[in-house]
Amino acid sequence: MTEPSSAELRIADLQRHIRDMYYEKDVARGVDGTFMWLMEEVGELASALRGNDRENLAEEFADVIAWLMTIANVAEIDLASALAAKYGSGCPGCSRLVCSCPGEEKP
């Protein structure tokens, strides 16, 4: 596999990259253990959102995405395909590219 050289990685490329780096450890940890690490990172992101350190905030967003990819790998989910299926044609609620669902509804 060639190493990503751009700051712009496609979702499939990033998921593969994360898999190449961590898959053996991730599978050994399992879905439950991996999910707990994801939740810890979500907590760190929540803390960073309350602060004003942009570098830390960017790192925490990256960590959450990396751990989400990790758990998808363990669960054998192709995130690029899942995202395209759910959001590729627009909002899952109203099917528009610019959501027109009522504000109190979760699309």
Domain, as residue range, for 16: 11-76
* 85, part of any domain: no
Q: Is the pLDDT of residue 2 over 60?
A: no
Is residue 76's pLDDT more than 90? yes
Q: Evaluate whether residue 83 is within a structural domain.
A: no
pLDDT per residue as tens digits for the range 25-46: 999 999 999 999 999 999 999 9
Q: Examine residue 3 and state whether it is found in any structural domain, yes or no.
A: no
User: How many Cβ atoms from other residues are within 10 Å of residue 106's Cβ?
Assistant: 6
How many domains, the chain?
1
pLDDT over 70 percentage in the chain: 93
In a domain, 82, yes or no: no
* pTM (2 d.p.): 0.85
User: Please, how many CA atoms are within 13 Å of residue 46, restricted to the half-sphere of its CB?
Assistant: 6
3-class state of residue 25 by DSSP: helix
Kindly state whether residue 37 falls inside one of the protein's structural domains. yes
Q: What CATH number does residue 50 fall under?
A: 1.10.287.1080
**For 81-93, what is each residue's pLDDT tens digit?**
999 999 999 999 9
